[in-house]
């Protein structure tokens, strides 16, 4: 039987406010346990929540960025359940009237095709604390620093049909929230994580299969791996005569498998009701227009501009616009050197390769955008050739000079373009290579193009890599052909 995978994601984005959603406690990452939880976060008697206006603005900006409906009125609800790291016994969320309505996101797949994924809604809520199991010798520690941290939960429609599509959607959401500046998107620190709903059905069947929810997946790679395992598990279970149970599962990256956590709760299990301590949020058109005017150029718009104005390919535009930091770095390089294609090649090639080897982000690149742009300029104006340029890049990376020009001068890498000097080197190489000259002369014409490589290598060696390769090739061919 042919099977179809159906996937929907619930993405939890920690908003980049300095204080929590209902209190003035800090949201800074890395503080000592339980030093950033105040009376409001703990729900102590006599305290009342006060809504963080910045969290509202950030949620609305996301809605505007994904072409969503923004309701005039949204309401906070209490989601009641007991968990050790939820001291109030309920989570303040939005069940029935979320702040962001239906929208959509365009994703780009590996084959450069695109697909629109619908967003059902996005709602504001507070985060819970964190249970700690390490180093407690069979007990559990509770850190309430995260309690009350503002979250935007983005709920997709079940529109994805593969692990690749799910990862592409998650990357698109990550790109949007970081471009907007409403979250740092740091998945390792928990600033962005997602619950993955997966089901399978026979191809052609309209009704959805029973889904399993994989909780708190915190990397793009883990999303793909978790889905791949879960799809295989569900298909094998059904084909062996079993039934998929609606449940919550966890992904174990070490074993590369999902495992059952608990049976899936339904909405009525949480006894949702409107929060009596918070008024409805009312947004007027002037407020929405103000936030819309503050939106930055978003990834999709940037991709179009990179293609239409800078002449980049769809692939280059997609890669370079994926993160705001990458796009800004590339644009500065391009402005310095004046050649978008060369800037794209160097940023995606030499620079990205070095960053990956050292496990560095582009914000921490030892080579600045200005330095890289100046280096590319020296290739474009024939001051140095491509081989020398890589030496200059490595020297910049290692901090051996402040600029490409300084390194070129210090290392004597300036390209030899003087025809007389190059001809002298060629003449010497030909004189020192009688056997190769004879072989070239006696070969079939179509084979001589490859054979000239030996002579080019010898001339470049004699010039210590500084001779202009194009000139070397042209002059060598003239001189060798004159010997035929």
78-98 pLDDT, tens digit per residue, is 999 888 899 999 999 999 999
- The DSSP line for 420-452 is HHHHHHHHHHHHT-HHHHHHHHHS-GGGHHHHH
Location of structure tokens 């879960």: 230
> What local confidence, expressed as pLDDT, does residue 7 receive?
98
Residues 6+ apart with CB under 8 A from 418: none
Helix axes 404-411, 386-397, angle to 10 degrees: 110
Residues 6+ apart with CB under 8 A from 394: none
Q: Which two tokens stand for residue 335?
A: 């402005």
Q: Which two tokens stand for residue 58?
A: 């950030």
Q: In this structure, what are the phi and psi dihedrals at residue 7, rounded to the nearest 5 degrees?
A: -130, 135
- Reference 271, options 150, 90, 123, 128; nearest CA is 90
Q: Which domains does the chain have, with CATH numbers?
A: 3-287 (no CATH), 297-411 (no CATH), 419-483 (1.10.10.410)
> What local confidence, expressed as pLDDT, does residue 21 receive?
98
Residue spans of the chain under pLDDT 70: 264-267, 416-418
DSSP symbol at 266: P
Burial class (CB in 10 A: 0-12, 13-18, 19+), 356: exposed
């Amino acid at each position: 039987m042919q099977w179809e995978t159906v996937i929907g994601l619930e993405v939890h984005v920690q908003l980049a406010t300095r204080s929590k959603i209902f209190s003035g406690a800090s949201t800074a990452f890395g503080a000592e346990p339980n030093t950033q939880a105040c009376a409001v976060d703990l729900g102590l008697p006599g305290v009342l929540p006060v809504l963080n206006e910045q969290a509202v603005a950030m949620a609305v900006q996301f809605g505007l960025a994904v072409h969503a409906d923004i309701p005039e009125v949204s309401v906070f609800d209490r989601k009641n359940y007991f968990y050790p790291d939820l001291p109030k016994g309920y989570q303040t969320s939005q069940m029935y009237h979320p702040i962001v309505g239906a929208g959509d996101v365009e994703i780009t797949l590996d084959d450069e095709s695109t697909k629109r994924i619908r967003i059902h809604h996005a709602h504001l809520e507070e985060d819970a604390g964190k249970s700690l199991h390490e180093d407690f010798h069979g007990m559990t520690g509770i850190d309430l620093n995260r309690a009350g941290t503002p979250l935007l939960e983005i709920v997709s429609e079940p529109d994805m049909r593969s692990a690749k599509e799910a990862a592409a959607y998650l990357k698109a959401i990550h790109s949007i929230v970081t471009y907007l500046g409403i979250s740092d998107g740091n998945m390792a620190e928990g600033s962005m994580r997602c619950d993955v709903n997966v089901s399978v059905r026979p191809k052609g069947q309209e009704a959805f299969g029973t889904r399993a929810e994989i909780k708190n997946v915190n990397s793009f790679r883990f999303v793909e791996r978790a889905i791949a395992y879960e799809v295989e598990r569900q298909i094998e279970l059904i084909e062996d005569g079993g039934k998929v149970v609606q449940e919550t599962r966890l992904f174990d990256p070490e074993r590369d498998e999902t495992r059952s956590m608990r049976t899936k709760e339904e909405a009525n299990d949480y006894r949702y009701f409107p929060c009596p301590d918070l008024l409805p949020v009312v947004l007027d058109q002037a407020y929405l227009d103000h936030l819309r005017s503050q939106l930055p150029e978003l990834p999709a718009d940037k991709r179009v501009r990179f293609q239409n104005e800078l002449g980049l390919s769809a692939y280059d535009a997609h890669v370079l616009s994926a993160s705001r930091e990458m796009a800004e770095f590339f644009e500065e390089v391009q402005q310095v050197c004046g050649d978008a294609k060369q800037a794209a090649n160097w940023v995606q090639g030499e620079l990205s390769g070095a960053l990956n080897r050292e496990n560095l982000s582009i914000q921490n690149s030892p080579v600045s955008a200005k330095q890289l742009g100046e280096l590319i300029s020296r290739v474009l104006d024939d001051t140095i050739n491509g081989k020398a340029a890589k030496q200059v890049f490595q020297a910049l990376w290692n901090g051996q000079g402040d600029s490409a020009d300084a390194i070129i001068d210090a290392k004597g890498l300036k390209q030899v373009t003087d025809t007389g000097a190059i001809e002298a080197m060629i003449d010497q190489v030909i004189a020192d290579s009688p056997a190769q000259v004879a072989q070239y002369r006696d070969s079939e014409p179509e084979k001589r193009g490859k054979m000239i490589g030996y002579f080019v290598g010898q001339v470049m060696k004699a010039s210590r890599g500084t001779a202009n390769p194009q000139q070397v090739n042209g002059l060598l061919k003239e001189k060798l052909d004159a010997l035929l």
